[in-house]
A and B are shown apart, each in its own frame.
Chain A
Amino acid sequence: MAEQDSATPQAQAAPKPPWEEKPVAPQPQDAREHPQVREIAALLPDAVVAATEFAGQVTVAVPAERIGEVCRACKDRLDYKFLVDLTAVDWQGRPEGRFDVIYWMHRFSDSRRLRLKVLLADGVEVASVTSVWKVANWMEREVFDMFGIYFANHPNLERILTWEGFSGHPLRKDFPIEGIDTGAAIYPDVYPPGGGPVAGEGGE
């Protein structure tokens, strides 16, 4: 420490290391001209609704009714062989549609990743991509379980993390964090409606 103190006058003149600077947050940029986006636009004209780049990651918004077609083309013709992640975000109250469904793909040839995003209204089905990537099976089941988004033509769209008969979809923004009365929904003979065990109470 003593050495550092004696070196202070020079250190002030020299530029500060990046970890002592105020962090500069990444800014979103339009990415329509990005090579990964242009590949898709060249294959499927009108499929790209919008494209943004944030912190080096490219997101392409795709019309919901064309997602099956786009994913198929991405895998077969653009070499995105690996679906890394599939999830959803609830934007409750957004007029254009409540949910975003997110597909995050990887290709091994040049180690690039691309995010597809689909805007979905509540209660609207979206095509399942299990026929494109087998790994999507459980991921879509999880999204169905957590958000109540239905995937058309999914081989077994069942709840995966909560139990059969659970009422509600926990990751929706209107689902209370302390839980809901699910007892009546599961055991209607035992509990009257509204009379079941509530999460957060002492475990009677």
Chain B
Amino acid sequence: MAKDQQPPAGGGRGGAPQQPPVDPKYNWPSTPKTVVGTRVKRLDGPDKVSGRAKYTFDVKRPGMLYGRAVRSPYPRARVLSIDFSDAEKVPGFKASLVVRDPADPKTNVVLFQGDEIAAVAADTEEHAIDAARAVKVQFEPLPAVISVDSAIAGRAPEGVFPNGNVRAGNAQEVGDLAAGFQAAAHTLEQTYSTHVITHVCMEAHGTVCEWEGDKLTAWVSTQGVNSARDNFASGLGIPQANVRVICQYMGGGFGSKLQLGPEGLICAKLAKQAWVPVKLTLDRKEEHLVTGNRPSAAAKIKVGVGADGKITALDAESWGTGGAGANSGFPLPYIYHSTPTDTRRRVHKDVYINTGLQRPMRAPGHPQGSFITEIMMDELADLVKMDPVEFRIKNLPPEGPAAMWASYLREGAQEFGWSKRHPTGDSTAGSIKTGMGVAICTWGGSGRGPSPAHCEIASDGSVTMRLGTQDIGTGQRTLVAMVTADALGLQPSQITPQIGDTQYGVSAGSGGSTTAASTSPGIRIAALKALEALMDKVAPALGVTADALVASGGSIQVKDTPSKRLSWADACKRIGPQPITADAEWQPGMSSVNTSGVQFAEAKVDIKTGIVRVTRVLAYQDCGLVLNQLTAESQVYGGVIGSLNFALYEDRILDRRTGQMVNPNMEWYLLAGMSDIPHIDVRLKNMPERGVVGVGEPPTVPTAAAIALAVRNAIGATVRSLPLTPAKILETLSQKA
């Protein structure tokens, strides 16, 4: 198992320290309750489908101005001067800000296209754009590193990055490599690679900032209201207590909104200067350039396999780019290991080029590691003439609750009709070739503390669950209500979840598929503690002690005599003017870590045009205790479709001469539409005994590899890099012929 990649805490596959289990009375019940595990529609669905849900992009404050950044057109340049005189003449101009002081040699060099230089604010968005265009910036263009291949080959300009263009990590070596290769019956040497893609959140990164004295209120499209507050406080040099961040609805982040970008601080500074609220949202081009990307990955691999189909050794040199100074690590080999001993060597090189910096993107590193490893696996399976499913099973780590690939591979192969798969190359007549592929995935998704939750039950029967988490589209708001309702014997619609605001408490950012696993334990325990207090109040009326009571079906009743009961409303009337309150934090034992998934894909390839159509995907995925069957399935559908985009369509294309992105939009940066979507079957494997594990990221890992292998199986030739464009497929076919 490769552990050289460090995804966000709690994110990537890894073990959480062993801790004592939670008090059994608070743990998830052994038998499913009425709400958890069922299909519950999103509580905020009606607000979203009616347009009433207010995203940061929709927030309008009295007197609000619109901000706009002035950005570098060059991949690298020194800013010599910034002249606002024409901008100030634009109608509606209100404020300007220098981000890069031309006089400061430490910061006056921009490192990528889109790097911030200055900013303006005006009364309308149109005027802000006019004013930004009118800012005159004098540049001294500087040599830039644009091509990864040139940088690796030592042909790129030097002196661009302080420690050189290529930073090689330490070699990691386990086992006796020479002995491993000696034991091999076949050796494969190949190079595989994946490309850079961008997050393309439908709602652009953006902020509305409003000052009242020295206190800042900021509406931010963010994956973490509390981390955004921290970023504002440290970036502006003000106490965290002076910052309130609100994000009730946000239009997608996928990792790119875990931290506040420079635009957030620019917006706050413009608002302070203009002394009125300012909104600064990025346009689509800026989104592509500056709000993060998934690093590229490549690996030159030598791998040995025994006649028995077991990998004996793997030697890899890998590299990738995360832009102007960011890393590009990914797990390799992905999940599979060599036997009898884990024998492998790896050196990874981060290549720096003058583009925007990478940010975590849905399962950071895993889709790249998966593609590179899985294509290699099918090439090896062909060498030893084994079925790819059987070959995979031979090279897996031992099976266990968090490592279920072998079972899912067998079961899925049966369901998918894998036995009908032909050997590599569809030999039927005609230009449309069909093939099948399979790939596997893993992810951590553990829970972590403290993740506090606060529960209130009022005398009118209303229940509020309050915590500083946020809903990034996963359905977290609905989970908060579901877990609370389940504990109290109520329905989710009877609960008021309060989230998405730093005033509701402290909670971690939604990254690494950790939100459900981190917050659900505290929510359940807080609800149960509040219920205990309520039972103390109602026990005398029912003539029993509190421990004889249960909450079920909207009433508080005596365990063995359900006819002795008080309705929830009547029970709560005994609360008095002050609501019952209870607080709790995450406890170990109610969440777990590590998931397994397997995906099968079927694709048709027209060998005359090179066009790929994915026809079917079957996804097996576990995530411990399934909280909401409906929205958990949606996560898997979404992951599969995201990975399909990675495999076939999206690609950040740079002009090799200017270093500028040539497709910073949504028409030439291709994304799947409705007609491109295959039939997808989702099989969620519920493991209630494991507690909650996150599911947002793993399903987006293996689809791309499964599709690429389906294409390989169809056309009888191997495309070893993504995306699988028609041109690349035709080129591969012509090399084969």
On whether the two chains bind one another, the answer is: no
Identify the B interface with A (CB < 8 A).
Answer: none
